[in-house]
Chain A
Amino acid sequence: MSTEITEPLSPTTGEPVSTTSRRDRLGVWLIIASCTTGTVSLLIAYSYLWSLNVNNAWAPTEGSANWAADWPFWAIAGGMVIGTLLIWRGYGALKKGNVGAMKSMALISTLILLACFIGQIFQIATFPFGPQDGAYASATLWLALANCIWLSLAFFFTQALFNRARRGRLTPDNPSHAQFVAMFLTYLCVAALLSAVFTLVMKDSPNTNSPTFGTFQQ
């Protein structure tokens, strides 16, 4: 007795691609879950130091004039959202058989994410504080650095989607890699938006009577 298999098979394992896709999708969800814990760690660090204001050293040393500007966070996050929506749209078109649309969307998304990446580096380079200028500076710098790392990954993934679509690896009956990239980019958008919200909402520490712990120097 043999079963007729009509859908494409994975060249490496011989399984139907729907089987490997289901498995891969679970893997992507789990990676996102793990990455989320990492992002939460950074957000905990930011909000915790903001709430404590240890040694009255949360704010940058030059005072409130040295907070980072808000708009670059939102501009970069906005760019990421647009790039992600394009990949979702490309994925939808791919499922309907329009490989060309997938290629275009991946290419445009790559360019947008590249611009975001450059913008992120520019933002870090032009922060009105250095990494040593207190807890706010440290926490904000790392939110931006994390975004930078995510953006470089996002750029790699979307460019890969373009390459793969061009090489005929993304097909209407095997579109899952586009979906995985879109899923991961969605997580990156959430992380970037949360960073933007935190840096917007949590500036002046609510703790005006900050604890003093001494310097702990040897």
Chain B
Amino acid sequence: MTAPAAALAAAVRSGERSAVSVAEEHLAAIDAVDGELHAFLTVLAEQARADAAAVDAAVGAGGDPGPLAGVPVAVKDNLCTRGVPTTCSSRILEHWRPPYDATVVGRLRAAGAVVVGKTNLDEFAMGSSTENSAFGPTRNPYDPSRVPGGSSGGSAVAVAAGLATLALGSDTGGSIRQPAALCGVVGMKPTYGTVSRYGLVAFASSLDQIGPFACSVADAALLYDVIGGHDPMDSTSLDRPAPDSAAAVGQGVEGLRIGLLTEFVEGVDAPVVAAVRAGADALAAAGAAVEEVSVPQLRYGLPAYYLIAPAEASSNLARYDGVRYGLRVDAADVEAMNRATREAGFGPEVKRRIMLGTYALSAGYYDAYYGQAQKVRTLIIDAFEDAYRRFDVLIGATTPSTAFPIGAKVDDPLAMYLSDVCTIPSNLAGHPAMSVPFGADDAGLPIGVQVLAPALGETTMLRVSGALEAAAPVLGAPVVGATR
């Protein structure tokens, strides 16, 4: 299987290709097509050229710039980049420049990667279509009239359209896997605690996890190995050595027990169901024992998520009050200034979730809403645990449908929320899950198959994903984008 990022890094490390030429190629591609796609909010042309030149200089001096030497990487704009705008696609942070790099950004640079830009997202990662960006939507390169999914739509599109070889996103309820599925790329959400959240602007702290986008499972594993591992700056970071998972990808699925989740094919569009079943057949043919399994508790994931995530968000987003940084709308007194700033600075979806979350935590309602949702969360963890006694991994659809038209769900938040019905349970459980491209529907829109594993089950998850990738029908090239 091809691994463009690994191949590119090998070529740069050996001196066969120059990092500067790689950067120039990608900057030119961004220049050519991003006016239409709008994957990027900020393109870091000068910085990328300088970083690439430094990589070439290191190679020239006989040094090793690292496993991602010269690889162009796009970074979601809710990850802090020192001195570079980090907007979260919100007016409230439009001109804010963090004084520090997120841990993952530091690790990218230390591995020789070249950050080419900051990508568009739903405001504060709240959404499933990248339409909730204060700076305009991102378009799907397979059909620019359709959404790329979200919230990490910009990162998914950057990789799908060949504008970056790899990208980082964040996944709170499916925000990496859902856009990966809709854009025909690999998207991986690692186990909660394996990748440091330091420098990820929080949406829902107990659910947020950073992860890779790539064109192949092997490249996703490569990027995960670079960004993973303990970070003393994040108390929820697991005290484990850096992951070493890339080798697992080609190991096959012989003898693995795989459960096909019936809840993740019910109510799902026919072409997606067909792809999931074809994937299951391919895994069986490759030597895995595949059988259907029902975990009915997963149905309660969506309502529990829409209490827990907004509750945490209502607290996490309180700090945008106009006092210290970001937007300030002046008013007669501090309280009025807070109110005017937040009224002007937040978009409607963010306001909706702040109100939902504030309500869910209010005196007299806490037990009925937030407390109850946490019980459901425990129920889901227990149900998964039960299923993983019988199966090594679970598979199902990543999304109920392929990419939908821009504007189709903007006036119906509940319909939009349902886009994440298959991805949310893994966030509630803190488990790893990833989406692997597996063919397309009749209109040529990509379909993703989701692979779920128990906590710290990345290695097995990557083996299964590698086997799925090997068996997947060839996906056509995007209608807008560079050759990749």
> Are A and B physically bound partners?
no
What residues make up the interface of A, taking CB atoms closer than 8 Å to B?
A: none
